[in-house]
Homo-oligomer: A and B are copies of this chain.
């Protein structure tokens, strides 16, 4: 399809895709676990078999990306090699190995009148996934939606267009081999940004939209969408260290939270230290961060600790760096830490490091973030680390899904009521 369609054409294209997706969703909703897993395993095999084809497609994207002057980090996210293709295939196999959420009984009870009520998981229906130029998302997102019995419409970034099409072909081969509708996983027919607009307006066809990508993409989706959204807007994560924390543990956890991987949404962006720990913990933490190559932007009290500390501005408290930079501030106590995080945080993930159980309880009770940790690294904010298997992202909204969004979060439920002729008085 032409990459420059008019808006009306986009709407028509979305409607055609949406109609096919609805039909596929009805078939998937009652597909057996074995059949869905067969499709995933066949797709994994197809990914391996088509390695040369996928790498050739990826080379086209890489060449165009270099021409366009993409940054090395962007080119690295775009690049596929044997190892990454094998990892994608293995990812599909891991999703096949997860328990099937559909049909699972969430709760059941019997009423005094003898009615037996159960609440069982069902698919959501059709999921739209809008993402940037990470070709592996095509495989991950398609597989997660399929496992949860949902059809999906995938709209990847234009830079990864050829790679996504090649990966999508392998997914379709898997669906075909398992006897499932090919339209269960559809790729947007164009990378024109106007198609995103058509998806956001497609409340008739899509049950939910999952945006995966940078701040501006997610913000656009949240602002414009007529379809419910599972979004994580930002991960401005905090670590708050108290004087009662074991200093060696605090150093290990802070370094891990900030530097294990700086580009993930669970990476810590601000360090808060209790004033009582200014002489005991703060110098050690700041030195360890600086020595590990992390830039530290501190308030006046933190600046006093080490000449290498740069001054923090008001803007730093609200910034998700996704880089080896951390903002640092001294706070009076857990109350001030909570107020700071409530003011500047993004409701993603926050950790308290303390031996004071009361302070930990208060921090975890009063803060309204998706994930709150006591004496552990914020980098555990991840579906795999939670034992949920692969995830499509970490949601910071409050509706339906929150925290890691895995196969279970891609379902809804219905009530089944079994009687023997009961009527309501």
Highest count of chain B CB atoms <10 Å: which of A103, A376, A400: A376
Cross-chain contact A373 with B414 (CB below 8 angstroms)? no
Interface string of A377-389 (1 = CB under 8 A from B): 1011010011100
Whether, in the assembled complex, A374 has its beta carbon less than 8 Å from a beta carbon of chain B, the answer is: yes
Q: Which chain B positions have C-beta within 8 A of A111?
A: 385-387
Whether, in the assembled complex, A419 has its beta carbon less than 8 Å from a beta carbon of chain B, the answer is: yes
Whether, in the assembled complex, A142 has its beta carbon less than 8 Å from a beta carbon of chain B, the answer is: no
Whether, in the assembled complex, A403 has its beta carbon less than 8 Å from a beta carbon of chain B, the answer is: yes
Contacting residues of chain A (129-166) with chain B, CB-CB under 8 angstroms: none
Highest count of chain B CB atoms <10 Å: which of A255, A342, A379: A379
Cross-chain contact A417 with B373 (CB below 8 angstroms)? yes
Contact of A424 among B124, B379, B424 (CB under 8 A): B379
Cross-chain contact A418 with B375 (CB below 8 angstroms)? yes
Whether, in the assembled complex, A63 has its beta carbon less than 8 Å from a beta carbon of chain B, the answer is: no
Q: Which chain B positions have C-beta within 8 A of A376?
A: 115, 417-423
Contacting residues of chain A (389-425) with chain B, CB-CB under 8 angstroms: 398-400, 402-403, 412-424
Whether, in the assembled complex, A189 has its beta carbon less than 8 Å from a beta carbon of chain B, the answer is: no
- Rounded to whole Å, the gap between the CB of A356 and the closest CB of chain B is 14
Whether, in the assembled complex, A249 has its beta carbon less than 8 Å from a beta carbon of chain B, the answer is: yes
Whether, in the assembled complex, A253 has its beta carbon less than 8 Å from a beta carbon of chain B, the answer is: yes
Residue of B nearest to A378 (CB): B424
Whether, in the assembled complex, A219 has its beta carbon less than 8 Å from a beta carbon of chain B, the answer is: no
Q: How far is the CA of A377 from the CA of B375 in the complex (A)?
A: 52
Cross-chain contact A399 with B421 (CB below 8 angstroms)? no
Whether, in the assembled complex, A371 has its beta carbon less than 8 Å from a beta carbon of chain B, the answer is: yes
Of the listed stretches A2-10, A175-183, A302-310, A360-368, name the one at the interface; the rest are far from the partner chain: A360-368
Whether, in the assembled complex, A256 has its beta carbon less than 8 Å from a beta carbon of chain B, the answer is: yes
Residue of B nearest to A119 (CB): B403
Known: A125-B398, A380-B424. A417 touches B372 (CB 8 A): yes
Whether, in the assembled complex, A207 has its beta carbon less than 8 Å from a beta carbon of chain B, the answer is: yes
Q: Which chain B positions have C-beta within 8 A of A35?
A: none
Q: Which chain B positions have C-beta within 8 A of A418?
A: 360, 373-376
- Rounded to whole Å, the gap between the CB of A186 and the closest CB of chain B is 20
Residue of B nearest to A264 (CB): B424
Whether, in the assembled complex, A318 has its beta carbon less than 8 Å from a beta carbon of chain B, the answer is: no
Residue of B nearest to A376 (CB): B419
Q: How far is the CA of A28 from the CA of B115 in the complex (A)?
A: 35
Known: A117-B386, A377-B424, A412-B399. A368 touches B417 (CB 8 A): no
Whether, in the assembled complex, A187 has its beta carbon less than 8 Å from a beta carbon of chain B, the answer is: no
Contact of A253 among B257, B386, B399, B423 (CB under 8 A): B423
Q: Other than A379-B423, A398-B412, give 4 A-B pairs with Cβ distance below 8 A.
A: A111-B387, A255-B423, A376-B419, A376-B423
Instruction: List A residues at the B interface (Cβ < 8 Å).
Output: 26, 29-30, 103, 109, 111, 115, 117, 122, 124-125, 207-208, 228, 246, 249, 252-253, 255-257, 260, 342, 360, 364-366, 368-377, 379-380, 382, 385-387, 398-400, 402-403, 412-424
Task: Please name 20 pairs of A and B residues whose Cβ atoms are closer than 8 Å in the assembled complex, sorted by A.
Answer: A29-B366, A30-B365, A30-B366, A111-B386, A111-B387, A115-B376, A115-B385, A117-B386, A122-B368, A125-B398, A208-B399, A260-B423, A364-B416, A370-B415, A371-B414, A373-B416, A375-B419, A375-B421, A377-B424, A399-B412
